[in-house]
Structure 1
Amino acid sequence: MSLVTIDHNTCLRDGMCGEVCPQGLFEPDGEGFPAFRAGADQHCITCGHCVAVCPQGAVSHEALPMEDAHLIDHTLAVPIPALNQLLRSRRSVREFREEPVPQAMVREIIDTARWAPSAVNRQPVHWLVIQTPAEVRGLAGLVIDYLRRSTSLEPRYARYIELWEQGRDPILRNAPHLAVIHAPDEWIWSSVDSTIALTQFELAAVAQGIGTCWAGFLMRAANGHLPLREALGIPADHSVFGALMYGFPRYSYHRVPPRLEARIEWR
């Protein structure tokens, strides 16, 4: 049986499923109905375009059950001004309340982020969520250890070490939580796919009132400092491709400061 079948009773023979298939796996049969090409099963990337585009629900994909392919409610379209404000007003939050973010809320955000695009729908991302502030603090300490070993190469790190010794946290900013993304080294697009997924996580978090900040120092140290890597529990064949500290912001922001004009070359 073919991976994809077409219900001839409901199909309108409009050819849309074939046109949107990124692998070009459909061809019309003798009656004009779309048909999955012979041998196409091994080339399908299970992106779901064919299922998503059919207004009649005539496309059935064995790996994508129709009952799990929820209808889009077009009345929920986000107003452009609201979307623009969300994107422009997002800020890197470094001061957090002690109140923990409920796990259910984070699970919902990750559930949204898993729809982020990935190359050929590989979906290589693995999530590590550190929920305990004490563990986040311990990870920050391991990053400081990494910086101590690197001051001969990067003298500017001395300032961060000094702040840490004064009882401050310039690494993870006393954040209550941390989200880390890792993915297989063998996949050439792991870095890009991870960045897109973590960006989608960040925007979904901000939309729910959660503050985030990219944990650059931890990202740099995670793949070069064995004690930190072991503390994170990253598989030997994976690398860390992103990390976000997050929590409820201590302060609210009320204005959108200007940015540099976009550098555009029109062709």
Structure 2
Amino acid sequence: MSLVTINHTTCRRDGMCSAVCPMGLFDRDGDGFPVFRAGVDQRCIACGHCVAVCPLGAIHHETLPLEDSSLIDHDLAVSVPALNQLLKSRRSIREFRDEPVPEPLVREAVEVARWAPSAVNRQPVHWLVIQTPAEVRRLAGLVVDYLRQINTREPRYAPFIEQWEQGKDPILRNAPHLAIIHAPDEWIWSSVDSTIALTQFELAAVARGIGTCWAGFLMRAANGHLPLREALGVPADHSVFGALMYGFPRYSYHSVPLRQAARIEWR
């Protein structure tokens, strides 16, 4: 049986499924119906474009059944002003309340993030969510150990080490939680796919009132400091490609300060 079949009763032969297939796996028969070509099942990346675009549900995909696909409620479309404000007002949060973020709220954000685009729909990302503040603090200490090791050749990290020794946390900012993404080294697009997914998680989190900040120090140390890798439990053939500290913001922000003008070359 073909991976994709067409219901001729409901298909209106508009060619949309064929047009949106990124791999070009459809032909047309003599009556104008789309036909999923024989022998190309392995080339299908299961992106779901053909299923999603058909307004009449005439496409049956063996691995993406229509009954498991949620319908888009176009009445929920986000207004352009609301979206612009969300994107422009997002800030890197470095001061957090002591109140923990409920796990269901984080699961919602991850659930949204797993729909992030990835190269050829590979979906290579793996999530690690650190929920315990004490564990976040321990990981920050391991990052400081790494900075001490490289401080001789990179002395710019000395002020951060000094702050840590004074009882402050310039590494993970006393965040209550941490979200980390790792992915296989063998996949050339793991870095890009991970960044897109974590960015989508961040926006989903911010929309739910969760503050976030990219954990650059940890991202640097995670792939170069064995004790930290062991603490994270990252597989040997994976790299950490992103990390976000998160929690409820201690303070609210009320304006959108200026940023540099976009540098654009129009051609």
Tell me how far apart the structure 1 counterparts of residues 108 and 67 of structure 2 sit (CA, whole Å). 20
**2:89 corresponding residue in structure 1:** 89
Residue 30 (structure 1) shift: 1.6
What is the match of residue 112 of structure 2? 112
- Amino acid paired to 1:14: D
TM-score by length of 2: 1.00
Q: Corresponding residue for 2:205?
A: 205
Higher alpha-carbon deviation: 175-184 or 150-159: 150-159
Q: Is 2:238 the counterpart of 1:250?
A: no
- Match of 1:26? 26
CA deviations 1:51-92 (Å, max 9, x no partner) are 000000100100001111111000000010000000000000
Letter matched to residue 219 of structure 1: M
Aligned-residue offset at 1:23: 0.3
One-letter amino acid of the counterpart of residue 251, structure 1:
Y
1:54-69 matched pairs, under 5 angstroms: 54-69=54-69
1:67-146 matches, within 5 Å, as: 67-146=67-146
CA offsets per residue over residues 122-171 of structure 1, 9 Å max, x none?
A: 00000000000000000000000000001111111110010000100000
Aligned residue type for 1:85: Q
2:191 aligned with 1:152? no
Secondary structure of 1:156's counterpart equals: helix
Matches of 1:207 and 1:154 in 2, distance apart?
37
Distance in 2 (CA, whole Å) between partners of 1:195 and 1:49 is 23
**Residue number in structure 1 paired with 2:51:** 51
Report the secondary structure of 1:241's partner residue.
strand
3-state DSSP of counterpart to 1:108:
helix
Instruction: Tell me how many residue pairs correspond in the alignment.
Output: 267
Q: Given residue 259 of structure 1, which amino acid in structure 2 is its aligned partner?
A: R
Partners of 2:83 and 2:35 lie apart in 1 by 39
Tell me the distance in 2 between the aligned counterparts of 1:233 and 1:70. 34
| CA distance in 1 between partners of 2:101 and 2:65 (Å) | 33
Runs of 4+ in 1 over 4 A off after TM superposition: none
The equivalent residue for 1:174 is 174
Alignment deviations for residues 78-129 of structure 1 (CA, whole Å, 9 cap, x no partner): 0100000000000000000010000011011000000000000000000000
Q: Which amino acid aligns with 1:126?
A: H
Please report the RMSD computed on the Cα atoms of aligned residues, expressed in angstroms.
0.4
- After superposing the two structures, state which structure 1 stretch, 222-231 or 149-158, moved more: 149-158
Residue type at the aligned position of 1:36 = F
Task: Map Cα deviations across residues 158-198 of structure 1 (whole Å, 9 max, x no partner).
Answer: 10010000100000000000000000000000000000000
Distance 2:67 2:23 in 1: 24
What does residue 266 of structure 1 align with?
A: 266
In structure 2, the partner of 1:2 is 2
C-alpha separation between the residues in 2 aligned to 1:59 and 1:17? 8
- Displacement of 1:17 in angstroms is 0.1
What 5-or-longer segments of structure 1 have no aligned partner? Answer: none
Query: Please, what TM-score do these two structures have when normalized by structure 1?
Result: 1.00
In structure 2, what is the Cα distance between the partners aligned to 1:153 and 1:127?
32
Aligned partners of 2:98 and 2:145: how far apart in 1?
A: 25
